[in-house]
Amino acid sequence: MTPRRVIALLILALTSCGAAPQPESEVRDWPDRPNILWLCVEDMSPWLACYGDPTVPTPHLDRLAAQSVRYSNAFASSPVCAPARSSLITGMFATRIGTMHMRTGNPSKAAIARDPEAYADIPSYEGVPPAFVRCFPEHLRAAGYYCTNNAKTDYQFKAPATTWDKSGGKAHWRSRPDGAPFFAVFNHGGTHESRAFPKAKRAPRVVDPNVLAIPPLYPDTLAVRDALARTYDNIARMDGWVGKKLAELEEAGLADSTVVFFYSDHGVGLPRGKRSPYDLGTRVPLLVRYPDGRRAGETEDRVVSFVDFGPTVLSLASLEPDARLDGVAFAGRHERAGRGLAFAHADRFDSEYDRARSVSDGRYRYVRNYRTDLPHLIRNAYRERLAMTADLYALAKVAQRAPSHWQCASTERPAEELYDSRSDPWEASNRIDDPSLREVAARLRAELDRWIEATGDLGLVLPEKRMVAERLWHGGVQPKTAAVALRRANGAVELSSDTAGASIGYRAKGAKSWAVYRQPIELQADVTTLEVVAHRIGYAPSRATLSVRDEE
């Protein structure tokens, strides 16, 4: 089965009305503090058997899908990892908090190798969400959850020390205190774009590149076939990783008390997928398995976005998400109706600027291009390590080519694009001028306008240095979080910071992780000092060691 059929099957039912709050009986029966496990893979569209594509065997994911709710309209908010992950961890759109450019503080070595001056006018900075925003695991930790991340962060800002109990290559839920529920994230990089580079070590060969059906977007060349085959081989190997993570739960007797999410951080890492705000770059697989087997094997057509993931985890843990977040919970005690729309953006990718916005209701996708002078495939040095990229660039000079190659061959873009993803799953036929879709175009155009206005879209504030200086770090200099002040009263210790939105952490000397401060704390008699940290996201943190045994 071809990837085209995957997408066609994926969107059988494409209009979503959003979920209503759960029936009272279901809310009453919901467990208060289930464990929650995220299995995140990189750079992968829903090219899986459970979504209709049996090109490679994925038995572990087949089994998980049979036990899960399969979301057919799940979307990344950005077609590239760091901006998308900033939305996952905050529940906010990257264009609202200044994290839409890839990346904000880590120049691309490939771009600099091609042009040493590539970043001459690009500042290094961190995104700054509104003061009420926290990295959502902090809320879980304050409620008694043990939270681990293994191992990617890439949030476009330095995560406060209060975000995770442990983050790194050895982080695991096994280290939790006895009886503590956990939220654990595991990231798999084996499906990343770079694993399809010619110099990358190959996964065991599962698919024959000579028999693969080529997506109509691409020319049929050896390099295209090789990249597709490597992509599928990496998916097959990834399935084994999923099997191992699920086996760990089962062997520990935790499968019946753990909610499992499986998803990817954005669409496939091939050109016109990654870095492009279309279905191929933003539609992702999402499987959610509940410990009591509820809704096992069902397909859910509700449109969900990455901004909804954090609120949903809080809701599953019986914590009410802040109503000011951009996302809403799509499961758990605090499930709410969704918008039925998924917004995406394309801004700077490494050193190259794009500027496009899109919105999908699951069936129809509207795209607005602010840079009509650019090709659809901007010249990105990192992507050019894929051998197939040169073949796509060459299409612009080919007189006789398939009509479906027009985007990969373009030297400029239309101001607007509209696609019917049901009849045209590769979104290759622009129907913006189709009279029969005039009302659809008008509706989605208006929705995009409302979203841009509501979020204050910082990607439209240029140059980037101006955006940083005027909207994030006033004057362009990173502000510093006010230091922690300590007050002793009635035998307890109170901590505070004058910076609105500061997360405050504390620990006794020798402790490895920071506790989240939310209320006055009572310390053991042998504790004489506390290490403290205050950190508002996007600001520099303040750390100190304070005495807790001075005379009152």
Q: Are residues 227 and 258 in the same domain?
A: yes
* Structural domain contains residue 19: no
Q: Are residues 235 and 366 in the same domain?
A: no
Reference 365, options 35, 70, 75, 72; nearest CA is 75
Q: Are residues 442 and 502 in the same domain?
A: no
Q: 1-15, 166-180, 385-399, 444-458: which has the minimum mean pLDDT? A: 1-15
Q: Are residues 231 and 268 in the same domain?
A: yes
Q: Are residues 469 and 541 in the same domain?
A: no
Describe the chain by its helix, strand, coil percentages, rounded to 5.
30, 20, 50
Between 24 and 17, residue with greater pLDDT: 24
Distance of CA 80 to the CA centre of its chain: 8
* Structural domain contains residue 319: yes
pLDDT computed for residue 1 by the predictor: 42
* Structural domain contains residue 18: no
Per-residue pLDDT tens over the stretch 215-240: 999 999 999 999 999 999 999 999 99
CA 230, 233, 235, 237 torsion: positive or negative?
negative
* Structural domain contains residue 68: yes
Q: Are residues 204 and 306 in the same domain?
A: yes
Identify the domain boundary among 288, 313, 340.
Answer: 340
pLDDT computed for residue 240 by the predictor: 98
Answer whether 165's CB lies under 8 Å from 146's CB: yes
Identify the domain boundary among 421, 441, 474.
Answer: 474
DSSP for 226-239, written as a single string = HHHHHHHHHHHHHH
Average predicted confidence (pLDDT) for the chain: 93
| Phi, psi (deg, nearest 5) at residue 350 | 60, -120
Q: What is the CATH number of the domain that holds 166?
A: 3.40.720.10
What's the rounded mean pLDDT across residues 18-47? Answer: 75
Per-residue pLDDT tens over the stretch 327-357: 999 999 999 999 999 999 999 999 999 999 9
Q: Which amino acids are annotated catalytic?
A: 81
Q: Are residues 352 and 399 in the same domain?
A: yes
Number of domains in the chain: 3
pLDDT computed for residue 432 by the predictor: 98
Percent of the chain residues past pLDDT 70, beyond the cut:
94
Q: Per the omega criterion (within 30 degrees of 0), is the bond before 463 cis? A: yes
Between 21 and 301, residue with greater pLDDT: 301
Q: Are residues 301 and 366 in the same domain?
A: no
pLDDT computed for residue 14 by the predictor: 34
526 contact partners, CB below 8 Å, separation of at least 6: none
Q: Are residues 363 and 420 in the same domain?
A: yes
| pTM of the predicted structure, to 2 decimals | 0.94
Q: Are residues 384 and 301 in the same domain?
A: no
What's the rounded mean pLDDT across residues 401-407? Answer: 96
Residue 343 is given by DSSP the state: E
Identify the domain boundary among 290, 324, 340.
Answer: 340
What's the rounded mean pLDDT across residues 311-325? Answer: 98
Residue 489, amino acid: A
Answer whether 85's CB lies under 8 Å from 265's CB: yes
> How many C-beta atoms lie closer than 10 Å to residue 463's C-beta?
12
Indicate if the pLDDT at residue 535 is higher than 60: yes
* Structural domain contains residue 100: no
Indicate if the pLDDT at residue 11 is higher than 50: no
> How many C-beta atoms lie closer than 10 Å to residue 241's C-beta?
17
Q: Are residues 331 and 360 in the same domain?
A: no
Q: What is the CATH number of the domain that holds 537?
A: 2.60.40.10
Residue 15 confidence class, pLDDT cut points 50, 70, 90:
very low
Reference 369, options 313, 320, 416; nearest CA is 416
Structural domain including 239 reads 3-11+28-91+131-340
What's the rounded mean pLDDT across residues 56-81? Answer: 98
pLDDT computed for residue 527 by the predictor: 87
**Please, what's the b/e burial string for 183-195 (b: 16 or more CB within 10 A of its CB; e: otherwise)?**
bbbbbbbbbbbeb
What's the rounded mean pLDDT across residues 156-161? Answer: 98
pLDDT computed for residue 26 by the predictor: 52
pLDDT computed for residue 4 by the predictor: 42
Burial of 88 (0-12, 13-18, 19+ CB in 10 A): buried
Per-residue pLDDT tens over the stretch 85-118: 999 999 999 999 999 999 999 899 999 999 999 9
* Structural domain contains residue 106: no
* Structural domain contains residue 352: yes
* Structural domain contains residue 194: yes
pLDDT computed for residue 550 by the predictor: 61
Answer whether 89's CB lies under 8 Å from 307's CB: no
Q: Are residues 333 and 354 in the same domain?
A: no
